[in-house]
Amino acid sequence: MREARPRIAVITFPGSLDDRDMCWALGSLGAESIPVWHAEEELPDVGAVVLPGGFSYGDYLRCGAIARFSPVMKAVERFAADGGAVLGTCNGFQILCEAGLLPGILRPNRSLRFICRDTTIRVERADTPFTSRCKPGYLLRLPIKHGEGAWFADPELLAEVEANDQVVFRYTDNPNGAIADVAGVCNREGNVMGLMPHPEHAVDPLLGSGDGALILASLVEAAGVRLGVPA
Amino acid sequence: MKATVLVRPKAGILDPQGNAVLTGLGHLGFNGVRTAHVGRLVELELDETDPAKARALIAAMCDQLIANPLIESYEIELEGDA
């Protein structure tokens, strides 16, 4: 009999495209990935939730603006309010911002170009469910692939975010014009986080970098703790 | 009742689309354009016939979906109501 593994839900919206890679990456790190269709109104019994990258609803209106009204998002909000770890990558980050679960918004890249290349981000906080395998100051090499990845907050909101230590990752070579070099932010409680780079595309040296495994393995561990299943 | 919503990037916010249009105009020889900003136009047709109620309804729509108040402002125009 196979031992129980930490279960993590990976949401598929119409237009998601990194959901399978995310399932595979989490699986390779010891989790049992459970694909969840956006029309579901309840989440299965999981220890963490991931909103993957893609172009949900064709990015119409604003990226993530329509996906936030998917039925499953109510369940994701309840899960987050209950302290569950919720990770959004790329389009998932955009959805979490539009849903108000994370501060700020993602705007078109300063260059107006779609950027697809590796970037380096610095870990600012290691006391989150997404960075427990890191230390502050760690430099992670992760790919980005987005046209609208410039995180924005007005001066008041930025001051609040900085005062609460909500910036989890910063670019060392800001590729997209993000305010304060922000690559990833969390909510005030620290259990919801979004980042533009793709950890799921960097979990094995064969893929060019294994650094994303530090983020996803942290999440697998957090999911295991919540479920009482050792990772 | 027909309504038009104009969504604009808020003043002072980096507007890469507007900048691209400005640069493109310069390349075409349209010099003397100082600024260009690109927004969005949304046309709505409502069952509501009372202008005040329609405005309140559309404002709620804008706050929840049509605009993101962090980066965009909006203006509501109702047909036949100045």
Interface pTM (ipTM) of the complex?
A: 0.70
A1, pLDDT greater than 70: no
* Average pLDDT of the segment spanning A135-145: 97
The domain made up of B2-78 has a fold known as Mth169; Chain: A , (3.30.1280)
Write out residues in chain B with pLDDT < 50, as ranges.
Answer: none
Q: What is the pLDDT of residue B80?
A: 78
Is any Cβ of chain B less than 8 angstroms from the Cβ of A175?
Answer: no
Q: Does A179 touch chain B (CB under 8 A)?
A: no
The residue ranges of every structural domain in chain A are 7-227
Q: Which CATH class is domain A7-227?
A: alpha beta
Q: How confident is the model at residue A216 (pLDDT cuts 50, 70, 90)?
A: very high
Give the angle subtended at the CA of A171 by the CAs of A170 and A174, to the nearest 5°.
130
What rounded mean pLDDT belongs to chain A?
95
Distance CA A98, CA A139 (A): 28
Q: What is the pLDDT of residues A10-27, one digit of tens each?
A: 999 999 999 999 999 999
Reading the block at residue A171, the tokens are: 């670019």
pLDDT of residue A231: 61
Q: What are the distances in angstroms from CA A144 to CA A38, A150, A156, A198, B74?
A: 24, 12, 28, 6, 32
| Mean pLDDT score of chain B | 92
Query: Catalytic residue at A116?
Result: no
- Separation between Cα atoms, residue B13 and residue A149, nearest integer Å: 15
Reduced to 3 states (helix: H, G, I; strand: E, B; else coil), residue A209 is strand
Domain spans of chain B? 2-78
Contact A58, A94 (CB under 8 A): no
Find the catalytic residue in A23, A63, A90, A134.
A90
- For CA atoms A77, A78, A80, A84, the dihedral sign is negative
From A104's Cα to the closest Cα of chain B, the distance in A is 7
Checking if the pLDDT of A143 tops 90, the result is: yes
pLDDT band at A59 (very low <50, low <70, confident <90, very high): confident
Q: Do A112 and B70 touch (CB under 8 A)?
A: no
Whole-number pLDDT of residue A2: 59
Q: Six-digit token pair at A56?
A: 């949900």
Number of Cβ pairs < 8 A linking chain A and chain B: 35
The whole-number average pLDDT for the span A97-105 is 96
Span B47-61, pLDDT tens digits: 999 999 999 999 999
CA distances from residue A60 to A8, A16, A57 in whole angstroms, order as listed = 28, 13, 6
B interface test, pick of A59, A62, A148 with most B CB neighbours within 10 Å = A62
Judging contacts by C-beta atoms under 8 Å, the chain B residues touching residue A157 are 70
pLDDT at A56: 87
How close does chain A come to B65, measured CA to CA in Å? Answer: 7
